[in-house]
Amino acid sequence: MKNTKNNEPGTLTYDWSISADGKTCYFFEHYANSEAVMIHTKTFGEKFADRLLGMIEIESFEVFGNPDDKVKDSLSPLGAKFRQSIGGFSR
């Protein structure tokens, strides 16, 4: 996590949770902007993608907010569904 904090300053939140039966893992990630998503995508692709994606099956992948076309093009092959933000706040 320390390396992520240093190398991905636009990464605001990483939260991983697991179901009660231990069979389903949920990833929640929050980024400052589309540029931060692309930095994470590059780092993840270089360092972790083969290992992680070889161990899991993605059941759903939802992206909330208003990512730019680069993010959409990058995440769409993974089955991402995009949900446009219409309001809200974060503290």
Q: What is the mean pLDDT of residues 47-74?
A: 91
Gyration radius (Cα) of the chain, Å: 14
SS (H, E, C) 23-36: CCEEEEEEECCHHH
Q: What are the tokens at 20?
A: 């009660």
Instruction: Read off the pLDDT of residues 22-53 as tens digits, 9 standing for 90 and up.
Output: 999 999 999 999 999 999 999 888 888 888 88
| pTM reported for the whole predicted model | 0.84
